[in-house]
Amino acid sequence: MIAFFTIAAAMTIAAVLCVLAPLLRRTPTTRASGTARTLAVAVFRANLAEVERDVSAGLLAKEHRADARLELERQLVDDTRLQPAAAVPESGGRGAFWRAGIAALMLAVLPAAALGLYLQLGNPVAIPLLAGDGIGLADDHAMFESTPEIMVTRLAVRLEREPGNADGWVLLGRSYAVLARYDDAIAAYRRALALVPDQAQWLADLADIEATAAGGDLNGAARAHIEAALTADPGNPKALALAGSAAFDRRDYTAAIDYWQRLAALPQISEETAAQARANASVAQARLGASAKP
């Protein structure tokens, strides 16, 4: 029974604090809103960083950078515009005096009212019965925490309303890939390519994700999309890089050398990428020479 009244007292204090808190504080908390905004910005930055890496490596044309950033910014706005803004603090002493009076009244009335109501209607015997059934309080705080997955889910819901938004499906695919949800990323890219079938960069991105999902295998499902990307744009840097790696993996060193030399000769790629392509071609050339020896 002592345990019961201890719990009851604690719950009463908690209830009183819940009532008093809005009366005593000057500005409502915006913690949940801040958390949601922080996570939305995290997803935005992860996608933006990937875009910038592709541009720096010459794997994404510079003229497409603005379009990609615009779509990312649009999604960031969608993720944050529904979050409540902080309220303006109430000015003047009159409002504070009124709140303090109400708080004092609640502090006196609520515990007495709770005790009186319990003595009329309560049943302490029920407490051990509930405890015997293993019924307890759970911390449901995690259920209300926003996560990057929730942000991405909101984008997916939006795209179900806008199924013709090809750039949106690509953004969703990139977001899923960041979260290592490769099957969902593949499905999103396929939705985009159903709308714009011959987009070489998207085909190359899809092939890269398919290979990642398959443990690095570029000669499975990914190979068809690598070839499709090169058919759409023979000079696509990412497709050439993937094609060279795929050919090397299947020991077609002649083809690997050709792909990597073509990649190194592209004017838009970084010097670092070009140097790596030439180094890869040299390794393939050595392998080709070794395999030609009796």
Long-range contacts (CB closer than 8 Å, 24 or more residues apart) made by 85-91: 85/30, 85/33, 86/27, 86/28, 86/30, 86/33, 87/27, 87/28, 88/27, 89/26, 89/27, 90/26
Segment among 71-85, 219-233, 271-285 with least mean pLDDT: 71-85
Kindly calculate the radius of gyration of the chain based on its CA atoms and give it in whole angstroms.
30
Structure tokens at 6: 């201890």
Neighbour count for residue 47 (Cβ, 10 Å): 22
Give pLDDT, residue 270.
95
Segment among 2-6, 151-155, 250-254 with least mean pLDDT: 2-6
Helix (H) or strand (E) holding 45: helix 31-56
**Cα dist. 159→156, 176, 198 in Å?**
5, 14, 21
Q: What band does 6 get if pLDDT is binned at 50, 70 and 90? A: low
Q: What band does 65 get if pLDDT is binned at 50, 70 and 90? A: confident
pLDDT at position 146 over 60: no
Rounded-to-integer distance, Cα 285 and Cα 257, Å: 7
Q: What band does 224 get if pLDDT is binned at 50, 70 and 90? A: very high
When comparing pLDDT for 127 and 12, which is higher? 12
pLDDT at position 44 over 60: yes
Average of pLDDT values for 132-144?
A: 40
- In this structure, which amino acid lies at residue 89? P
pLDDT at position 110 over 60: no
Give pLDDT, residue 199.
97
pTM over 0.95: no
Give pLDDT, residue 274.
96
What number of CA atoms fall less than 13 Å from residue 92's CA on the CB side?
A: 3
pLDDT tens profile 87-104: 444 444 444 554 555 555
| Burial class (CB within 10 angstroms; exposed 0-12, middle 13-18, buried 19+) of 232 | middle
When comparing pLDDT for 124 and 268, which is higher? 268
Q: What band does 72 get if pLDDT is binned at 50, 70 and 90? A: confident
User: For all residues of the chain together, what is the average pLDDT?
Assistant: 76
Phi and psi torsions of 33, nearest 5°: -65, -45
Average of pLDDT values for 192-201?
A: 97
Structure tokens at 129: 């019965």
Neighbour count for residue 208 (Cβ, 10 Å): 22
**What percent of the chain stands above pLDDT 90?**
47
Average of pLDDT values for 224-239?
A: 98
Count of H-run helices and E-run strands, the chain: 13, 0
Phi and psi torsions of 136, nearest 5°: -145, 180
Contact 212, 182 (CB under 8 A): yes
Rounded-to-integer distance, Cα 241 and Cα 218, Å: 11
Domain-wise residue ranges, the chain: 220-286
Neighbour count for residue 2 (Cβ, 10 Å): 6
